[in-house]
Amino acid sequence: MGSVWDQVSEAVSVANYRPRLRADLTWARLKSRRGTPYTMLADRPRLYLRLGPHDDFLASRMDGSRRVSDLVIDYFRQFGRFGFDRIATLVRDLRNAGFLTDPPRDVYETLDRRLKPPAAPPRTGRWEGTTLKLRLPLRGIDPVVSRLHDRVRWIFTRPTLFLTAVIGVIGLVAFIAEIRAGHDPFAPIGNSSVAGLIALVLAFYTVIFIHESAHALTAKHFGRRVDEGGFMLYYFIPSFYVNVTDAWLIRWSRRVAIFWAGPYSGFVLAGLSSILVALLPGPSLLTTLLFKIAVAAYINNLLNLMPLLLLDGYWILEEWVETPKLRQKALEFVRGPFWHKLLDRKRLTRKEAFYAVFGSLCAVYSFLSIYLAFLWWGRRLRPILRPLWVTPGLLAKILLVLVVAVVAIPLSIRLGRQLWRYQRAIRQAPAAAKKALQTIRVRDRQRLLQGLGFLRTLPAASIERLAKAARIRDVAEGATIVRQGERGDEFFVIAQGEAVVVVRDAGEDAMVERKAAGDFFGERALLGRGIRQATVKAVTPMRLLVFDQRVFWTELGGVVAWESQVRAALQERERLRSVPLLSDATPRQLDLLAVKLAVQPFQQGESLMRQGDRGDAFYIVREGQVDVMARQNGRSRRLSVLGPGEYFGEIALLRDQPRMATVRGKTDGSVWRLERQDFRDLLGRYLDLDAQLAGIADARVPRGHSVAGAA
């Protein structure tokens, strides 16, 4: 038992946390279209998490008996590498999602809420969702869907499916023939164009209702729950929806079948209507209505199969390209990284090019949809509002006010809020444009500076300041840039070309060094008495970044003075990067490790650890070789020889157990040594990279998506 402070340290260490998954979660181990395994972990019907095989390995061990540090060991044994951030992220995701037995708790957040209570309590209206996806949900519909499915189970038999496909194909041919023959989809009913329009709208809602029912019944046919459905304003267009998120727990082909069921129902309905229109005699009320249903179904299918909004076509595409949250990722790429890549003139990968095209199309289509929605509302409200306004009497006016109050005011408020946000963005646009222009100007210099090894440790803000302060100077081949003995007040970084450094000693010139792109010179005069110590001549045409004395001292002085140390640190990091165990680590993680890893030299025959000793550190061979020896039945036996990049002592890192072998230097060399406590500290640091992890966490969670029809 250690001191109280040791115990406090243990108590607050996240490495000691024992995650326990709730027993009532649903697991589904599945494969993607290309056979990549993945796992869905669900708290049905609330939340569904998608895990990769590595995360599955970890999650299945979260039974409350293992600490986070044990999971690190298990992961290490299984995959041969440290999974610090993976484990940290997973534990955090699962806990925040409420999948662990102890829910997350934040006393400061609760305190902040008590200290600063919101001005108005959150509205608990019946409407849910965002402005562009406003839902009026009806929950608990699963039993109804089950009963309906029991009655129409026959529609999923092979003969029925074959027959409906034939009807769909023949019907499409019949529909095209009707259109070519001049059949008007907007034909009036009983000489009334308003009646014709109302009939078309009713046909749309009939089609959408059947479309959504097809989704729900197919999901039920595959044993899924359909807990929610309802009315929705999708991009301001009224429609119905059903939530089939439970389809995440079945294989991808069945999920696609559920998404396809909606458009397929429309295809069959339109086909049947078109065939009847062709078979029934002459134009009549019935053929007019049937033709309107066919038109509504085909248009609805077109809208739904367009993969640019979150409708059936999109969900099918997402399954096909195996990219969860494809639309969100593509839009995010178009908003930010795409422009940075353009500014940096970097080539796009195939995936990025796809994101760029798909994201741009999605953005354009979204705006187009909003515009079309306004047209839709205008067309539908005008015939109702205008007659009411011109009708004499108070009742008509009251009706008009009611219609405006019920439909227009809530929509206007929501739209107003949205526009207010856009207006703010527009107001800030000139300043943003100015900043963007400035960014483009300094971008090239910044790129040059970022490529210089010794400046890698500078924060981005300093690099940017340097880029703004640097002057570009082009130098012709053979020109003298600085001359020995002259006063110097400038510092140079070579962007392009080569130079030689010549020192005159005892009347003779001697070339002492060759400088190339990425090197610098002129610092000695600035750090010393202001006199150049050597002559530098261009041996090729050169481009230099020139910094004056003031910039040198404010931004570069310290960096240059420490350059040798920085170079050494960078070399160490490069060495670490070449260790297979750490090949997945990011530069930042390597920096964190480089600080904690101590270099320990050893000589041939020197013991680094002895069998039976208490283990308290982990080693990676840096240089040379070591012998791993074990004593069995009184005899010492060599188990293996380890070389650079190989490691030993890993189990002792976290567990109190004696060493299983003796390790001795086979040659002279050195090892990196990671102390047990340092390992814990590192783990703690990974667990606190909040902002970074939140992004990853969000990307992992497939939000409950719904299938919606659009009128």
> Applying CB under 8 A, which residues contact another protein?
1, 4, 7-8, 11-12, 104-109, 111-112, 114-116, 688
User: Nearest approach, Cβ of 91 to another protein (angstroms)?
Assistant: 14
**576 vs 586: CA distance, rounded Å:** 11
DSSP state of 648: E
User: Nearest approach, Cβ of 595 to another protein (angstroms)?
Assistant: 16
The smaller minimum CB distance to another protein, of residues 111 and 568, is found at 111
User: Nearest approach, Cβ of 686 to another protein (angstroms)?
Assistant: 13
Q: Is 272 exposed, middle or buried (0-12, 13-18, 19+ CB in 10 A)?
A: buried
Q: Is 119 exposed, middle or buried (0-12, 13-18, 19+ CB in 10 A)?
A: exposed
User: Nearest approach, Cβ of 104 to another protein (angstroms)?
Assistant: 8
Two tokens, residue 128? 């849910």
User: Nearest approach, Cβ of 8 to another protein (angstroms)?
Assistant: 7
**212 vs 193: CA distance, rounded Å:** 29
User: Nearest approach, Cβ of 83 to another protein (angstroms)?
Assistant: 22
Query: 318 with 326: CB under 8 angstroms?
Result: yes
The smaller minimum CB distance to another protein, of residues 6 and 184, is found at 6
Query: 44 with 28: CB under 8 angstroms?
Result: no
Two tokens, residue 573? 């990091």
The smaller minimum CB distance to another protein, of residues 114 and 126, is found at 114
The smaller minimum CB distance to another protein, of residues 260 and 686, is found at 686
The smaller minimum CB distance to another protein, of residues 109 and 574, is found at 109
User: Nearest approach, Cβ of 12 to another protein (angstroms)?
Assistant: 5
- Which residue shows structure tokens 């009807």? 167
The smaller minimum CB distance to another protein, of residues 105 and 345, is found at 105
The smaller minimum CB distance to another protein, of residues 107 and 394, is found at 107
Question: 357 - beta bridge partners?
Answer: none
**DSSP, residue by residue, 139-162:** E--HHHHHHHHHHSGGGGSHHHHH
The smaller minimum CB distance to another protein, of residues 111 and 395, is found at 111
**139 vs 128: CA distance, rounded Å:** 12
**37 vs 262: CA distance, rounded Å:** 28
Question: 39 - beta bridge partners?
Answer: 29, 51
Kindly calculate the radius of gyration of the chain based on its CA atoms and give it in whole angstroms. Answer: 35
Two tokens, residue 285? 């009320």
Residue 217 φ then ψ, to 5°: -70, -40
**511 vs 642: CA distance, rounded Å:** 44
Angle at 158 between CA 156 and CA 160, to 5 degrees: 65
Query: 295 with 200: CB under 8 angstroms?
Result: yes
Other Cβ atoms closer than 10 A to 15: 20
User: Nearest approach, Cβ of 92 to another protein (angstroms)?
Assistant: 12
**291 vs 281: CA distance, rounded Å:** 13
User: Nearest approach, Cβ of 506 to another protein (angstroms)?
Assistant: 45
User: Nearest approach, Cβ of 452 to another protein (angstroms)?
Assistant: 23
Which H or E run includes 394?
helix 394-403
Question: 509 - beta bridge partners?
Answer: 504
The smaller minimum CB distance to another protein, of residues 5 and 154, is found at 5
The smaller minimum CB distance to another protein, of residues 13 and 245, is found at 13
Two tokens, residue 162? 């074959």
The smaller minimum CB distance to another protein, of residues 648 and 679, is found at 679
Question: 508 - beta bridge partners?
Answer: 505
User: Nearest approach, Cβ of 112 to another protein (angstroms)?
Assistant: 5
**219 vs 683: CA distance, rounded Å:** 43
The smaller minimum CB distance to another protein, of residues 105 and 347, is found at 105
User: Nearest approach, Cβ of 116 to another protein (angstroms)?
Assistant: 7
